[in-house]
Each structure stands twice: as C-alpha cells, then as structure tokens.
C-alpha cells in the first residue's frame, strides 16, 4: 500500500478513481479497503473482456510493453529496476510527450470501427491545465512539477 500512497501524495490532482486490470496482483481486499478509506472509486475489467478499461489496456500496450517488453518479471531486483524506469518514464509521458485524444468512433459499412481523434496533439499536462473542473491550486501544483523537470535528464 506504500506505493499507492506515494502515488497519491505525489500526484498533481486528487485521485478520484483507479481502473485496473483484472489480475490478482491488482485486486485484493487490502487495496480495496485502502481505496474506500480515501473515497477512491476502484474498478477493474472483467476477465476475458480486454476492451473493459480500454485506457488501461491502451497504456499497457503503448507505453509499458514498448518500454519494458512483454516478459513477466518477478523479484525484488526487477521490482527496483522497474521503479527506476517508471520514475523517468511517467514524467516524460505526462509532461512532455504529445498524445492523441479519441473523440468518437464510427461504424463503417464494412462493419469495422473508425476512430476519430482530436486534430490537435497535446500533452496530458496541457489537458489538465485546460480542464475547467481542475482548480487553480492543482493547476499551479502541476506547473511547479513541470518546472522542476528536465526532459534531457529524463530521457
């Protein structure tokens, strides 16, 4: 639970929900209780329904697997190495890398789905600053974090 507490303490905005994969490494009574104590909504995808929590699955494929691969890693040494990788990767993804935002899906005559993305690419950081539901206090916290980051060092 310490890792989850560290994430919440260092996140620029309050966490109101956590969406996870359905693996037992994510789901347990202790974590559910931890979320309940903090009024955090906890959802998971259904087993064998890979399109549930699509944002989790998208980030798994686009970020995690491209960075560390597909192998199943175990052990304290590997865990420590993963923490080090993500301490650099997370700020890069959220404060410096541009992303596309899905705005609609249209079913084509051939039955395939066509995804329509927002034309303008933005960093998640920019989207946070532009969001009307995020208070100025949290926007200022995010700005302060961004100012402390060095893209060259992180890369």
- If one counts the domains in the chain, the total is 1
Q: Using one digit for the tens of pLDDT, what is the confidence trace for 32-45?
A: 899 999 999 988 76
98 within some domain: yes
Residue 52, number of CB atoms within 10 A of its CB: 16
38 within some domain: no
Is the pLDDT higher at 108 or at 63? 108
Fill in the DSSP letter of residue 52: T
Mean pLDDT, the chain, rounded, equals: 84
Structural domain for 102, as ranges? 73-154
The pair of structure tokens assigned to 115 is: 């995804």
Q: Give the separation between CA 31 and CA 141, rounded to whole angstroms.
A: 27
Q: Residue 91 burial by CB count (10 A; 0-12/13-18/19+): exposed, middle or buried?
A: buried
**pLDDT of amino acid 100:** 85
93 within some domain: yes
35 within some domain: no
10 within some domain: no
132 within some domain: yes
Does the global pTM surpass 0.85?
no
4 within some domain: no
80 within some domain: yes
The pair of structure tokens assigned to 93 is: 């993804």
């Amino acid at each position: 639970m310490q890792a989850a507490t560290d994430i919440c303490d260092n996140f620029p905005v309050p966490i109101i929900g956590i969406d996870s994969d359905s693996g037992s490494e994510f789901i347990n009574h202790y974590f559910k209780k931890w979320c309940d104590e903090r009024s955090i909504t906890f959802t998971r995808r259904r087993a064998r329904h890979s399109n549930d929590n699509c944002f989790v699955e998208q980030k798994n494929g686009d970020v995690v697997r491209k960075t560390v691969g597909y192998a199943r890693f175990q052990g304290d040494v590997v865990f420590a190495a993963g923490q080090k990788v993500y301490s650099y990767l997370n700020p890069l993804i959220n404060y410096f890398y541009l992303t596309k935002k899905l705005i609609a899906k249209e079913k084509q005559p051939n039955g395939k789905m066509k995804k329509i993305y927002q034309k303008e690419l933005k960093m998640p950081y920019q989207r946070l600053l532009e969001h009307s539901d995020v208070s100025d206090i949290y926007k200022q916290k995010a700005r302060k974090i961004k100012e402390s980051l060095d893209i060259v060092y992180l890369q």
